[in-house]
Amino acid sequence: MTGEQPATSSPAPAAAGVPDRARGLARYTADLIPPGTVLVGLARSPYAHARVSSIDIQAALKIPGVLAALTPADFDDIALGHQGADEPVLTRVARYVGDGIVAVAASDQDALLRGIEALHIDYEILPHACSVDDALALDQPLHPAFLDNVARRFSAERGDWEAAQKRVSTWVEGTFQTQAVPHAYLEPRATLVRVYDDRLELVTGTHFPSVLAETYGEIVAGWGARLEVVTPDIGGSFGAKWEHPTHLVCLAFAHRLRRDVAMVLPRRDDMISGRTRVAMRIQMRIGATDDGELIAKETMIWADNGAYTGHGPSVTLAAAIRMDNLYRFSALNAQAQLIYTNNVPSECFRGFGSPQSAFAQEQLIDELAEQLRIDPIELRRRNAVQPGDTTLHGWQVGSCGFNDCLDAIKDRIQTHRRENPMATSDRYRFGYGIAGATHAISNRGYDHRFDRDMMSLAVEPNGVLRIESGEVEIGCGTVDLFAGIVADHLELDRERIRLVLGDTATVPHGLGCFASRTAFFGGRAALDASRRFAQLCGRLAIDIGLPADTAIASVIEAAVTANRTMELRVTGSYEPDHVTVPDESGYGNISPAYTYATHGCCVRVDTATGLTTVVCYWAAHDTGQVLNPQRARGQVVGGVVQGLGFALAETTLVDDRGHMQNPGYLDDRVATFADAVPIECIFTPTFEKEGPRGAKTIAEPPIIPVAACVANAIYDATGARQWRLPMTPEWVWRSLCAKGVLAPDRTAD
Amino acid sequence: MPPAKSPALRPSHLPPVELYRPADLGELLAHAADGVHLLAGGTDLVVWASQCGEPRRLAWIGSIDQLQTLDITSDRAHIGAAVTLSRIVRSGQFRSLAPAVVDGAAVVGSVQLRNQATLVGNVCTASPGGDTIPALHVHDAALDIVSAAGDRRSVKISDFVHGPGQTGLNTGEVVTGVTLRGLGQREGSAFSRFTQRNALDLAIASVAACLSFESDGRTVARAHLSMGAVGPTVLDADEAARSLVGHPLEPARLRNCADLTAECCRPITDHRASADYRRQLVRTLTMDVVDAAAERAIPGWLAVEAP
């Protein structure tokens, strides 16, 4: 069974949830905290690496308003992290500046701060490492089980490397450094726990309510309590809001005090203890024949896991191999290691490792094109993966519009060049760049038990159709597509449909909003539920004495009259049958379909300051059929602007003691509206037979090629290759100085 | 005044504060004498209070009419301590009198911040990178100060700011406004700064210039250059400015002047930029603002080839 014929009408008009956000009506976790709720705060380590030698909470407990304190001893048997299980809730060994040591609960904020200040914690300072090189050289393991500080190693060798090497006539190579950036969601982490007898209700903005319910549920069961997770509106996440120690601290206080408790992280705390993109050093070389056939690619990655393991292992493996699937290589060799450091723990982030590897790969493809004297778009076109291919990593390519994306960008750049003769001067240089990208939809390797989605449809006594989904509205309006698909399939009025989301007590299981999967998996589950519902309506119609082909709306109306709405309840699901759990090297068809993109841009580089200004940006995406053009465009524009921040400005700066120097948006320069650039979104539609109504997905792909695209444009403008992110004005200026391309009277001191 | 040092890991939280709303200057002076902090736009003060837990006693100056005045005559302007940056930016009259100050006021923070923040507040914060300060230097601005006893004094802006967060304001004294010199005939001023983002950012280097020409419309009669974010306070580049005086503004002379500013600034290396990059920016900004000031003095004048 496939995802059905093309959509005949646009299934999703104006967003139900998004205008609420725009109008300030969304209610985030912090908005739900009633006055009088117990407030929770943490004493954090000021040291990057230190053993806690003693804790004295007595003075703090004497402060009026302080209700209780928790120490590492209260959580000794708990370690968080799906892929590492190495993060204590409160720690006896601080592994980064900001690691939580003691938690305090108090009746008001002033008492809370005084309580935290009254804690007495002694530390024995240990040597620390805030870079992968320092960590590899450190003779002290950060985690006892990992003597060399290597948390994970990956190796993926495909094809006949020896034979392939012999066919290579030209190699290009480079070492690229990408940076850790915070996810920069607007809503800091916030947690509210409500207590109902033996049931704890965790209210928090997460895109994985059922995952949290499962993980924390087992822990809470050990306390003799039950857990449900409720997700209110989420103020952004981009991959960050999984498990977090603060959730368990709040659950423990609520359970112990039998009172509702809450914790909202101040921005600075959120940034020093939140998560970041996995920083990577990527050493890569690519070999080709003289006539431009890509033959072999070799990748070595040193990835910074930070202090604890989030999804760094999956991200690192993805960075090592995923972008390979864009071209028809003959042989591949990827080695990667994920290294513990005393930095903030890393986590998955929109793009899942591919923005990092694209920065390396797509620049090297351009290098190769220059050396072989082949147009960079033509070189990509000749080697592009095609529909029906099975890549060396086992990806079974269904629909693939990469060539169309390349053609669209070629067309835009040619037109722009023709219509805008560039006023290149000594000081200002103009250049064009392109970069390609591919991405999976969901990841069969994430949960080895299954990768599926469920959706229930039920008619309420008044005839309103209720959709229940375990998926989460994360702010892009995605779940509204579900209502659109159901309304369209059943020919129902959208006003008569209600979405119920985000409470694990009432909705069916959903794996969560990650890996660009929600629209695809949820959309297919919505279609399946709609089909089942239509069948049910057909049977009920006959039973009531109506023709079997009576319109669904009329059957529902008849069911209301006959008091038989309770019979109209179905659950649909989607679980792709041709995906495989990848092996340790990442081999496998991890996704039911794959997306493709090409970006192009024109930049102006001010050689006197190194400032790069993006003059024009084009983003071409193969996302299958576009179900909602406005939303899809929103994702692309958002991804590109976020990508420009990653490319040009955002970073995490750490001083030699391991303190983050820029824990705020003043110095972590996420792009503002004033930094947005003209972006043209181009959809080059394919029809993905596995997708809902031929659609694929658009969430993550738009950020993947951006840094590489801008880097290639800077090179085109100046001749200075960009090896390091972010490409800040100072860094670009230094690369120009090194290259000697500055105007003669403006050279460096 | 910013706190000397914020406790490293104190969560940011605005404590409950006592807020006074004095109706006139006398009341305000009484509060100031009592150690109450003055609250103007609050765009810096509220952030510090959240980070440090203090000050907890504030007196808002916004309801004192006298401090809301923006007096503009043919050759000078007086800006009251409660006048917001937005008001300055929107005043066409003020713009023609002191365009460099408007250049600086227009880039502080964001629209929302400028609607709240005051020019005098920007000066009293005494940040080396304060966006209005270099322009106030080249417009020979002076702070109007009144003491608890009612004594008035006027302090040149270059004497007023002593270091990062440090001013020459004595305990109990209040800045009531700033007075500056307006442009004369064949005179122009400009300010430019370099930031890595187009909004909500701080300068990593900035330069202001004020330039007047002889009646021949070519020879520089007077010049004043001032640099921000490249020293403990805003610095005047006197030698560089003098190098322009008495000569036509030719490209080689302008380049030489830019080199002189880059030499005389005293930048530090920090997480925002390195010292030598800041020097390079000062050099570039000097060429840009001298050019812009000359263009405002003698429209149509272009000393160097436009980019």
The CATH number of the domain covering residues in A33-126+185-237+241-273: 3.90.1170.50
Rounded to whole angstroms, how far apart are CA atoms A75 and A682? 51
SS3 A635: helix
Q: How many CB pairs under 8 A join A and B?
A: 83
Rounded to whole angstroms, how far apart are CA atoms B204 and A705? 29
**Cα A304 from chain centroid (whole Å):** 17
Tokens of A235: 């103020």
Mutation choice for B interface testing from A612, A667, A677, A742 by most B CBs within 10 A: A667
Output DSSP code: residue A73.
Answer: G
Instruction: Name the pLDDT band for A577 (thresholds 50, 70, 90).
Output: very high
CA distances (Å), origin A547, targets A320, A550, B67: 58, 5, 81
Give strand pairing partners of B271.
Answer: none
Domain residue spans of chain A: 18-26+452-574, 33-126+185-237+241-273, 279-443+584-746
- Helices vs strands, H then E, count in chain A: 18, 25
List of chain B residues whose C-beta atoms are within 8 Å of the C-beta of residue A666: 200-202
User: In the predicted model, what is the mean pLDDT of residues A377-400?
Assistant: 98
**A421 preceded by cis ω (within 30°)?**
no
- The reply to whether residue B196 touches residue A109, judged by beta carbons under 8 angstroms, is no
Tell me if chain B has a CB within 8 Å of the CB of A749.
Answer: yes
Closest C-alpha among B65, B191, B217 to residue B139: B191
- The reply to whether residue B305 touches residue A425, judged by beta carbons under 8 angstroms, is yes
Q: Residue B120: what are its φ and ψ, rounded to 5°?
A: -65, -35
Instruction: Name the pLDDT band for A146 (thresholds 50, 70, 90).
Output: very high
What is the tens place of the pLDDT at every residue in A416-465? 999 988 777 889 999 999 999 999 999 998 888 889 999 999 999 999 99
Instruction: Name the pLDDT band for A9 (thresholds 50, 70, 90).
Output: very low
Provide the pLDDT for residue B15: 80
Q: B201 CA to chain A: closest CA distance, Å?
A: 6
Mutation choice for A interface testing from B107, B192, B201 by most A CBs within 10 A: B201
Least reliable range by pLDDT among A297-311, A731-745, B214-228? A731-745
User: In the predicted model, what is the mean pLDDT of residues A16-44?
Assistant: 86
List of chain B residues whose C-beta atoms are within 8 Å of the C-beta of residue A100: none
Tell me if chain B has a CB within 8 Å of the CB of A266.
Answer: yes
Rounded to whole angstroms, how far apart are CA atoms A448 and A302? 26
Tell me if chain B has a CB within 8 Å of the CB of A656.
Answer: no
Provide the pLDDT for residue A747: 42
CATH architecture of the domain with range A279-443+584-746:
2-Layer Sandwich (3.30)
Q: Which amino acid is at A182?
A: P
List of chain B residues whose C-beta atoms are within 8 Å of the C-beta of residue A672: 110, 197-200
Rounded to whole angstroms, how far apart are CA atoms A729 and A588? 41
CA A384, A386, A392, A397 torsion-angle sign: positive
Tokens of A487: 């309304």
Provide the pLDDT for residue A274: 87
- The reply to whether residue A268 touches residue B16, judged by beta carbons under 8 angstroms, is no
Q: Is 50 exceeded by the pLDDT of residue B1?
A: no
Provide the pLDDT for residue B302: 62
User: In the predicted model, what is the mean pLDDT of residues A649-659?
Assistant: 95
Let me know: does B161 contact B123? Beta carbons within 8 Å: yes
Enumerate the H helices of chain B as residue ranges.
Answer: 25-33, 45-52, 85-90, 92-97, 99-105, 111-116, 119-125, 133-138, 157-160, 238-242, 251-264, 275-297
List of chain B residues whose C-beta atoms are within 8 Å of the C-beta of residue A728: 196
**Among B13, B197, B307, beta carbon nearest to A425:** B307
Residues 345-384 of A with CB under 8 A from B: none
User: In the predicted model, what is the mean pLDDT of residues B96-118?
Assistant: 97
End-to-end CA distance of chain B: 41
SS3 A300: strand
Which residue in chain A is spatially nearest to B8 when comparing CA positions? A46
SS3 A404: helix
User: In the predicted model, what is the mean pLDDT of residues B247-253?
Assistant: 94
- The reply to whether residue B11 touches residue A669, judged by beta carbons under 8 angstroms, is no
End-to-end CA distance of chain A: 68
User: In the predicted model, what is the mean pLDDT of residues A229-235?
Assistant: 92
Instruction: Name the pLDDT band for A15 (thresholds 50, 70, 90).
Output: very low
Which residue in chain B is spatially nearest to A663 when comparing CA positions? B9
Provide the pLDDT for residue A748: 40
Question: Across A417-551, where does the E strand assignment appear?
Answer: 428-440, 453-459, 465-469, 497-501
For chain B, give the mean pLDDT: 93
Tokens of A704: 């993947």
User: In the predicted model, what is the mean pLDDT of residues B278-297?
Assistant: 97
Provide the pLDDT for residue A4: 53
- The reply to whether residue B11 touches residue A649, judged by beta carbons under 8 angstroms, is no
For chain A, give the mean pLDDT: 94
User: In the predicted model, what is the mean pLDDT of residues A337-363?
Assistant: 98
Rounded to whole angstroms, how far apart are CA atoms A384 and A403? 7
Tell me if chain B has a CB within 8 Å of the CB of A428.
Answer: yes
Q: Is 50 exceeded by the pLDDT of residue B305?
A: no
- The reply to whether residue A608 touches residue B202, judged by beta carbons under 8 angstroms, is no
What is the tens place of the pLDDT at every residue in A679-689? 999 999 999 99
Give strand pairing partners of B192.
Answer: B207
Rounded to whole angstroms, how far apart are CA atoms A695 and A683? 12
Instruction: Provide the b/e sequence for B25-50 (b: ≥16 CB within 10 Å).
Output: beebbebbeeebbbbbbbbbbeebbb
Q: Which residues contact B29 (CB under 8 A, 6 or more apart)?
A: B146, B147, B148, B150, B172, B174
A18-26+452-574 folds as Aldehyde Oxidoreductase; domain 4 (3.30.365)
- The reply to whether residue A659 touches residue B8, judged by beta carbons under 8 angstroms, is yes
Tell me if chain A has a CB within 8 Å of the CB of B11.
Answer: yes
Rounded to whole angstroms, how far apart are CA atoms A270 and A183? 10
Q: Is 80 exceeded by the pLDDT of residue A18?
A: no
Q: Which amino acid is at B123?
A: V
Question: Torsion angle, CA of A133/A139/A145/A148, rounded to 10 degrees?
Answer: 40
Provide the pLDDT for residue A2: 52
Share of chain A above pLDDT 70, in %: 97
Output DSSP code: residue A377.
Answer: H
Let me know: does A48 contact A128? Beta carbons within 8 Å: yes
Let me know the angle formed at the C-alpha of B192 by B188 and B196, rounded to the nearest 5 degrees: 170
SS3 A168: coil
User: In the predicted model, what is the mean pLDDT of residues A206-217?
Assistant: 92
Provide the pLDDT for residue A683: 98
Provide the pLDDT for residue B306: 40
Question: Across A95-162, where does the E strand assignment appear?
Answer: 100-106, 120-125, 150-158
- The reply to whether residue A733 touches residue B280, judged by beta carbons under 8 angstroms, is yes
A551 burial (CB, 10 Å; 0-12 / 13-18 / 19+) is: middle
Which residue in chain B is spatially nearest to A670 when comparing CA positions? B197
Asked, colleague to colleague, whether A18-26+452-574 and A279-443+584-746 share their fold, the answer is yes
Provide the pLDDT for residue B50: 85
Mutation choice for A interface testing from B9, B46, B286 by most A CBs within 10 A: B9
List of chain B residues whose C-beta atoms are within 8 Å of the C-beta of residue A184: none
Count of beta carbons in the 10 Å neighbourhood of residue A533 = 27
- The reply to whether residue A748 touches residue B280, judged by beta carbons under 8 angstroms, is yes
Residues 184-213 of B with CB under 8 A from A: 194, 196-202
Which residue in chain B is spatially nearest to A726 when comparing CA positions? B196
Closest C-alpha among A43, A143, A146 to residue A95: A143
User: In the predicted model, what is the mean pLDDT of residues A23-31?
Assistant: 89
Tell me if chain A has a CB within 8 Å of the CB of B13.
Answer: yes
DSSP string, A554-566: HHHHHHHHTT-GG
Tell me if chain B has a CB within 8 Å of the CB of A728.
Answer: yes
